[in-house]
Amino acid sequence: MSETIEEKCLAKGVKLTDQRKIIAKVMTEANDHPDVDELHSRVLKIDPKISIATVYRTVKLFEEIGILAKHEFKGGKARYEQLNEGHHDHLIDIKSGEIIEFVDEEIEKLQKKVAEKYGYTLVDHKLELYGVKKKTQ
Amino acid sequence: MSETIEEKCLAKGVKLTDQRKIIAKVMTEANDHPDVDELHSRVLKIDPKISIATVYRTVKLFEEIGILAKHEFKGGKARYEQLNEGHHDHLIDIKSGEIIEFVDEEIEKLQKKVAEKYGYTLVDHKLELYGVKKKTQ
DNA sequence: GTAGATGCAAAGTATTTGCGACAAG
DNA sequence: CTTGTCGCAAATACTTTGCATCTAC
């Protein structure tokens, strides 16, 4: 079911260059949400020749063919994460910057309902929660 | 209850310059979500001397003292709107760019619940729905 | 072999900032 | 008066792009 990024590229007729393979690998191994700079420096550790322009071009391409998701959280640079089957939203710790992924079916349903109510079909959405850790847990 | 922007500036000890008054007026009269360029050109019609730098500084200031909200919708420049008592979220028509404001108490409650579940106190959130108009309404 | 990808540096956008002149309180 | 603001232009931050070269298929 869950194919690798490389398989998806083949399926889409996208050329599999070394650079793309490396970027795919780094993103697959990442379990955070790196921005382009961060991604670039991780990629440089594998191949020090890859340019930042290629990284920009590649994340854009990967986003278009649906294997990466781009997030523009508050006041920062764009950050990316690998897109798997399961959709999720984000809860961001405004102190530490930590990002928690969550799914809430009920909210998803209500969103669809709101769109319908205004005569729209929901095609996408963005939900970000910003919070602070509670002291007494 | 709902004070004008000027009253809020006084209350916060913020100097009321002509430029700020004009920007406040334009934002108060706007019933859309202009970006800084658009705001600047509206402002120029009243006083052609006001610089874009001042507009940037002012919207930032107004955001800090809680009288404007900044939105960074998909792939565009930052857009602003006046913040009134009632909080609302946005439904964006991805074809026309039209923006519909909505409130859904149930979603709000669920968001708080999600944050709680992970041990967080919700301090802010962002919910944007992207949709296309239905043909048969 | 050829279409498309890469690296580089230059060009774009959007936004911020240093500074001397100026104005609000 | 004094502190903060303004306009200007230069600077910054992020991202895109033109072009000559190279590479996957």
What pLDDT score was predicted for residue A76? 80
Judge whether residue B90 has pLDDT over 60: yes
What pLDDT score was predicted for residue A136? 66
Domain boundaries, chain B: 5-82, 89-131
CA A109, A111, A113, A117: dihedral to nearest 10 degrees?
A: 180
* CA to C1' distance (Å), from B51 to C13: 18
| pLDDT class of B129 with cuts at 50, 70, 90 | very high
Q: Is the CB of A64 under 7 A from strand C?
A: no
CA A50-A53-A58 angle, to 5 degrees, is 85
What is the DSSP secondary structure assignment for residue A133, as one 8-state letter? E
E strand map for A29-119: 68-71, 79-82, 89-93, 99-102
For chain A, 137 residues long, the average pLDDT of each consecutive 10-residue run is 79 93 96 96 97 98 94 90 90 93 96 97 95 83
3-class secondary-structure state, position A13: coil
* CA to C1' distance (Å), from B59 to D1: 29
Asked if the domains A5-82 and A89-131 are classified in one and the same CATH topology, the answer is no
Judge whether residue B127 has pLDDT over 90: yes
CB pairs under 8 A between A and B: 110
Answer yes or no: CATH 3.40.50.360 is held by domain A89-131: no
A120 contacts in B (CB within 8 Å)?
A: 91, 93, 129, 131-134
B122 contacts in A (CB within 8 Å)?
A: 129-131
| pLDDT class of B136 with cuts at 50, 70, 90 | low
Answer yes or no: CATH 1.10.10.10 is held by domain B5-82: yes
